[in-house]
Amino acid sequence: MNPPSYSFVARGRRVVLPDGERAAAIHIRDGVIAAITGFDEVRPGVDVIEAGDAVVLAGLVDTHVHINEPGRTDWEGFSTATQAAAAGGITTLIEMPLNSIPATTTAAAYRQKTESAEGKLSVDVGFWGGVVPGNVAELAPLWEAGAFGFKCFLVSSGVDEFKSVNETDLRAALPELARLDAPLLVHAELPNPIEAAMQSAKFRQASAGGGAKKYATWLASRPRAAENEAIALLIHLSGEFGAPVHIVHLSSSDSVALIQKAKQRGARVTVETCPHYLTFAAGEISDAATEFKCAPPIRERENREQLWAALGDGTIDLVATDHSPCPPSMKLQHEGDFLRAWGGIASLQLSLPGVWTEARRRGYALSDIARWMCSAPAKLARIEKRKGSIAVGCDADFIFFNPDAQWRVAPERLYHRHKMTPYAGRELTGAIEATFLRGRKIFDHGEFSDAAAGRVLRRGHL
C-alpha cells in the first residue's frame, strides 16, 4: 500500500484527455490528479510509471450493474463482481437496487447494502435506490443517505420484492424526484404491447411445440412497441414534472427519432444502451442459446446499426453493461426454453474490449469510448468532478489499455461468480493491462495487486 501523501507520475505517449489524445504526464498526489503536463515535464527524482505502448484511458464508470448482495449472493457478489470490474478496467460502478434482498427501496435497506459491501470492494461502488409502488416517503431518506438516484420498472422486474410501477405510481413519485432533483432511471417497456404480442394467434402457434427454443419466439414476445410507447410516456412525464429521466438499456431503434426530438426541445432525458445490443444480432443466435436472453431483447442486425448511429450522433449518451448474472441452472440450458429462462447477460469484465471491438470496426476512436463509458456515465451519477476523466481534481482512476491485442474469451478467465456469457469463445480486440484506483495499482496483467481497495461512494460525500 502506498504511504499517505505519496506523489508519482504516470505517463504515456497516448493519453486520452477530455479534449483529445496526446502524450502527457499525469501527476498524482494522495490518489488525486494534481497536474497534467507535457510528457517530458517531470522533475528529477519523482517516481514515474511508464505506460509504454499502452493507451492511458480514464477508468470506466459503469452505472448499470446487478451485484445481488445481500440476499442473492449465489447469483453474484461484491467480491467477485468488483474483481471482474477491476480486470475489465472499470474503477467505479453504481449498483442497481434490485435482485438483492432486501431491495434498496428504503433507507434501512440502503444501510444493509452498504454494510454488506464493506471490505469486499476492489473498485469504488455507489448505489441507486428504487421507486416501487408506495415508497414515495422513502425517497428523500434514501437520497440523504447517499443514493445517487432511483430506478424503476414499468414491466415486471422478474423478482417479487421489486414491484413495477404504472403511470399513477409515477405521478406520485415524480413531484418528489423533481423536488430532490434526483434522476429517475427507467426500465422502459410497457406491459400492454407485450401481453398483446403474446396473445396473438401467430405467437401462440410459434411458441407451441418446441418453438420456445427459438430465439425468434423470445424476440416476438417483446415487441419494439413496448419500448417505444414507454419512452413516449416518460418523455411526456419528464416534461410535465420537470424531472430528469434516464432510459436504461435502449434496444428499440424505433425510439431514436422520438428521443432526438425531445432532446432538441431541451427535455431532461438521457439514454444508455448496452454492449450486447451493439454486438449481437437476433438472426445469429442459435436455438436454445439462453445466455443471450435479456429484456428488452437483442434485436435485428439493422436495429443494431441504427443504435450505433444514435450513439455516434449523441442521441444515445452512454454505454453501461446491465451485468445481470444468475446461477447457470436458471438459464435452463438443457431445456433451452427462452420464455422460461432467467433474462440477464453477464459481461462486466468484457464491456470495454467488447464495445471497442465493434467501435473500431465502425471507425470510432478511443476518445469516443471515453465519452460513452467514462465521462457520460459519471455525469449521469453526477460524480463527474471526481470520476470518469483524466483531469485535475479527479481521482487518479485510469487504465493502461492495449487497443490492438486480439484474444479469445475463455470463460475460466472471467472473475464473475458464474462464467456463463454470450461472449464465450468470441474474438475481441483490446486488452486491459493494468488498472489504477485512486493512484493504487489494483490490477496488473491478470494479477490483483491490491485487493479490496474500493470504497462505498455516497452522494454528497465524494
Burial of 125 (0-12, 13-18, 19+ CB in 10 A): buried
Strand partners, 427: 408
Among 169, 291, 322, 384, binds Zn ion (CB under 5 A): 322
Compare residues 343 and 388 and give the one whose CB is closer to Zn ion.
Answer: 343
Compare residues 189 and 322 and give the one whose CB is closer to Zn ion.
Answer: 322
Give the sign of the dihedral formed by CA 299, CA 300, CA 305, CA 309: negative
Options 15-23, 292-300, 318-326, 421-429: segment touching Zn ion (CB under 5 A): 318-326
Nearest C-alpha neighbor of 268 from the set 237, 308, 314? 237
| Helix, strand, coil fractions of the chain, as percent rounded to 5 | 35, 20, 45
Please answer whether residues 110 and 127 qualify as being in contact, where contact means their C-beta atoms are separated by less than 8 angstroms: yes
Cβ at position 326, least distance to Zn ion in Å: 12
User: How many residues form the binding site for Zn ion (CB under 5 A)?
Assistant: 1
Cβ at position 148, least distance to Zn ion in Å: 15
Q: How far apart are CA 430 and CA 407, in angstroms?
A: 8
CA 215, distance to chain mean position in Å, is 24
All cell numbers assigned to 198:
403474446
Interface map 272-301 toward Zn ion (x if CB under 5 A): ------------------------------
Compare residues 120 and 151 and give the one whose CB is closer to Zn ion.
Answer: 151
Cβ at position 312, least distance to Zn ion in Å: 24
Q: Phi, psi at residue 366, to the nearest 5°? A: -65, -25
Cβ at position 95, least distance to Zn ion in Å: 10
**Contact between 95 and Zn ion per CB under 5 A:** no
Cβ at position 247, least distance to Zn ion in Å: 12
Compare residues 127 and 443 and give the one whose CB is closer to Zn ion.
Answer: 127
Please answer whether residues 83 and 122 qualify as being in contact, where contact means their C-beta atoms are separated by less than 8 angstroms: yes
Q: What angle do CA 188, 356, 97 make, to 5 degrees?
A: 35
Options 30-38, 70-78, 222-230, 316-324: segment touching Zn ion (CB under 5 A): 316-324
Cβ at position 56, least distance to Zn ion in Å: 30
What residues make contact with Zn ion under the rule CB under 5 A? 322
